Structure formats: structure tokens, C-alpha cells
Chains A and B, each alone.
Chain A
Amino acid sequence: MRRLLNVRPRGGLSVLLGLVPLLAVALVYLMASQARHAENPRDKLLPTPTAMVEAVQMMARVDPLTGDAPLVVDTVASLRRIGTALGISTALALVLGLSLGLLPLLRAKFGPLVAAIAVVPPIAILPILFIVFGLGETAKIALIVIGITPVMVRDLAAQVGAIPEEQLVKAQTLGASTWQLALRVALPQAMPRLIDSLRLSLCPAWVYLISAEAIAADVGLGYRIFLVRRYLSMDIILPYVVWISILAVAMDVALKLVSRRFYPWAHPARGR
């Protein structure tokens, strides 16, 4: 009998294994929905697939009052917010992480500050952000940036700090200045890790986005979910949640592909 950890699914089997739990969840939902509707045809808690499709069609249709389709404007608004925030965070993490990881002088000066900021729960300072930046876009983007940047900075600084001393010495014996070393040795080696760190930050970033939109917004995926909650519109909420998940997964996969495409050396072929 082989040990469990040595049993490896291959090819089609592994796809099938991945699909089974998803199908099982869908099936359980359908059965539960069926059962509730048999008892009460007007049940709102577990809407039927038909009801959800209709709701999505309604949300995707242009509303004559506003001239926009809610689903489209919500998606655009949310993606713009999260995209801007992720861009700012990545740039900050890159600059700060590289300098903290590479320069002992800066690490001594700013390391404790970054560590202190990293432990502040971002939602707790949301009121401060609303007071300082008002209820507009800036506060929402700032929340996401404040929420994910410290972790990314610390992760990247640790990664850069772990570049073997030998490599740094070697680069110096090849005539590299601090700038050249940062640009050509530390930066490229930090990039795959930065992308990984960004992928891991997607989840908290969405959490902060939805929270900010739930509290103060007039458009956005999170805003819509919390708006229709008042009418118990599960037929809108559930597709929106699925849509958010699809967006998040798409971003994750895109980042993974970028990393594999541009940093092939960081992805050696693996046995397992």
C-alpha cells in the first residue's frame, strides 16, 4: 500500500477531482433551493437559477432613468478603485521594500515604523480616512492601500534581505554601484515575489473595497450588494458574489501568467 502523500492524480483525473467538489456544492444548492420553493414558491432566500439569470439580465440592461447598466457601472467603478489601489500599493512596496531590504541604514530608521503601521487594523482607521479625504474615491483607495501595502513592503524587504550576501559581494566586485545593484540584482529577483505578494493581497484588497463601498458609495459592486440586501434580493447578491469571485480569480491567474512569462527562472519545473 502506497503512502497517501505519494498518490498523485494525473491529467484528466486531476481536472475531474477538482470539478467534483464544485459540482457537489452546486448540486446541494439546487436541491436546497428546490425544497424551499416546493414549500413556498415566493421564497427569497435561495433563489432558483432562473430567478438569478433574470435578475442578472435586469442588472445588465440599461436603466432608462440613469442611462447606465448597473452591473457594468458597478464593475467599472470597483475595478477602477481596486486597480488604482493595487497599482499604488505595488509601486510603494517596490520602492520601500527594495530600499528597506537593501540598505541597513534605512532598515534601522524605518523598519520599526513599517512594523507598527502593519499591525493597525485598517478598518479601524476608515473613519479617519472618511474625515480626512471625504466620502469620495480617495478614501476608498486609501483604505485598500493602507490595508495591503505594509504587508507587501515587509514581505518584499524580507525577500530582498534574504538575497545571499555572496551575490551582493560578487556584484560589488563586478563594479556595481548601490543603484546598479538595486536595479539589476535586487529588483529582478524581487519581482516574482512581489507578484506573489500582490496575488496574496488580492483577497484583503477586495475585503477593504467592499467594506468601503458598503459604508459610503453610490456605485460599485459592494455598494450594490449592500443596497439590495434591504430587499432581501438574494437573486442579485449571489450572482454579484460569484462575479466578484470570477474577477478576483481572473486577476490572480493573470498575475501568475505574467510572472511565468517574464520571470521564467523563478519557476523551475517542479516534480510535485
Chain B
Amino acid sequence: MDLLTFRNVWVEYGDKVVLENVDLSIKQGSFVSIVGPSGAGKSTFLRLALGQEAPTKGAIDLDGRKLRAEPGPDRGVVFQKYSVFPHLSARDNVVFGLDCAGSMFRGRLSGARRRAALEQADAMLAAVGLGDSGDVYPAQLSGGMQQRLAIAQALIKKPRILLLDEPFGALDPGVRLDMHELITGLWREHGLTIMMVTHDIKEAFKLGTRVLAFDKRRRDPQAPHRYGSTAVYDFPLDKPGAVGPEALAGLGD
């Protein structure tokens, strides 16, 4: 089933075309990796899905309904940095989503409901391997642990789709491998739908069930800004005969 559909989407800033004619849909349960050179509109594409930006032309549907151009609880997100709240302990960071849903005015649950929410948060922290770190502030966590926390925080809202914007870009190679395992495990277990922007083509092919490569289809040497990027390659990896990272060897140079 198609979860998220981009229908003939264009994004323009003034006379600069960033994305042109993006026309694709994302199936529920898929893990879509998005690659492409810098400035190819990968992040803009993700911001569209997030609702941080509205398309200039075209339409985006989530679950068959028009997507509101505003971030909402049906779409979770993890950024490369600044995804967690520095003033809340790890546990409070995870409970935040439940606090907001359960307490309109105070933005904070209390009593038995708070205890139930904390239990749920602790389970989620344990699921991302932060079972012992509930009471510490993010600044005391390593980069990898902060990203684990950001994932737990997003997953507690059970989003329809999880958007990852270069989530492992700032991590050490070893930690990155651990995170690959974690995110693949969570994806299978929770039946998530994931869209991940990455610079690392190997990572894209390793994790994804589908790889979208963004780049410009046409170039105008006199006015390079007049042509936008689009998904120039779309590789399904979950079928026999799928290609590997070498298929994108020439991208973006």
C-alpha cells in the first residue's frame, strides 16, 4: 500500500528551481534511502515529507489525504544534530511526546498517567540500548547515544513514517555499524516505514529496501539554477537481481 505519494512536486525559491517533477510513492513498510550530491535537494525532499516546507506545485498525500505543510505527530524525525532537548533528562526526552498528547495545558502528565508513561519510556529506552541512562542529560551522552535517544523519542509516538536526515553522519565508523544494526532491528520489529537521507552510498544500499538517487537531469551552463533535481535513479533492492552501490559510481561528479 502506498503510504506517502508525491505527485508532480516542484519546489522553487524565487527563480531557483530546487526540485522538479518529483513523482513517486513510498510503500508502507519500506526503508527508502535517499542519496545524491550536495545541493541535489535530498534534504528539501525530506523537508517536504516533514511538512517543514510546502511544494510550489504538485501535491503530497499521506495515507491518501493531503499532507498539511506543518510537522505533525504522524511523522517522526531524527536530525544529524540537535534532535534532543538539552534541558530534559533522557527519560523526560522520551516522555515528552506522551506528555504533549496527554496534557493540553501543562504539557506534562502527572500521577498514575505519568507513571504509566514513564514505564513506556523506560521500555523504549531499553529497546534502543539506553536502559541505564534514563536520568542523565543529553550533554553527558556520546554522539551515538544521543542519536539512540532521538530515535527512542520519535518512536514513542508510533509515527506512520520515520524521517532520518543524515542520522549517522557525525558518528565514528564503529558506532555507525552499531546504529545500522539498531535501526534495522527497530524497523523489522515495529514494522516501520523509514526515509533516510545519507551521504554514504554504501550505507544507503546496506540499509534500504529501495534507493532513490537525486540529481539534476538537465544542466543549463548559462543558468544552472533554472533546472531542479529529481529522482534520477530509483532502485528497488527487495527484488531478485537488485543492483549494488557500484551502480551509482558516477553520481554527482
Q: How large is the interface on B (under 10, 10 to 19, 20 to 34, 35 or more residues)?
A: 35 or more
Residue of A nearest to B96 (CB): A174
With a cutoff of 8 Å between Cβ atoms, the chain A residues found around residue B150 in the complex are 170
**B65-84 interface (Cβ within 8 A of A):** 70-73, 75-77, 79, 81-84
Question: Size band of the A side of the interface?
Answer: 20 to 34
* Any B CB within 8 A of the CB of A169: yes
Q: Return A176 CB to nearest CB of chain B, in Å.
A: 5
CA distance A180 to B72 in the complex (A): 14
What are the residues of chain A within 8 A of B83 when measuring CB–CB? 166-167, 170
Chain B residues whose CB sits within 8 angstroms of the CB of A164 once the complex forms: 81-82
Segment from A38-46, A130-138, A200-208, A262-270 that makes contact with B = A262-270
B97 on interface, CB distance cutoff 8 Å: yes
Contact stretch, chosen from B34-42, B99-107, B125-133? B99-107
Chain A residues with Cβ under 8 A from B230's Cβ?
none
Q: How many Å from the CB of A14 to the closest CB on chain B?
A: 26
Contacts of B99 in A (CB 8 A): 180, 184
* CB of B149 to closest CB in A, whole Å: 11
Q: Is the interface of B mostly helix, strand, loop or mixed?
A: loop
Query: Is A169 touching B71 in the complex (CB atoms < 8 A)?
Result: yes
Whether A174 contacts B153 by the Cβ 8 Å rule is yes
- B104, B106, B107, B157: the one contacting A173 at CB < 8 Å is B157
A96 to B86, CA, bound (A): 23
- Indicate if B154 sits at the interface (CB-CB under 8 A): yes
CB atoms of B137 and A173 under 8 A apart = no
Bitwise, B81-92 to A at CB < 8 A (1) or not (0) is 111111110000
A184 contact set on B, CB distance < 8 A: 96, 99-100, 107-108
Name A residues whose Cβ lies closer than 8 Å to a Cβ of B.
164, 166-167, 169-177, 179-180, 183-185, 188-189, 263-266, 268
13 contacts between A and B (CB under 8 A): A166-B79, A169-B77, A170-B84, A170-B153, A171-B85, A172-B70, A172-B72, A173-B72, A173-B76, A174-B97, A175-B157, A176-B100, A180-B107
- Could you list which residues of chain B lie within 8 angstroms of chain A, going by C-beta atoms? 50, 52, 70-73, 75-77, 79, 81-88, 96-97, 99-101, 104-108, 137, 139, 150, 153-154, 157, 159
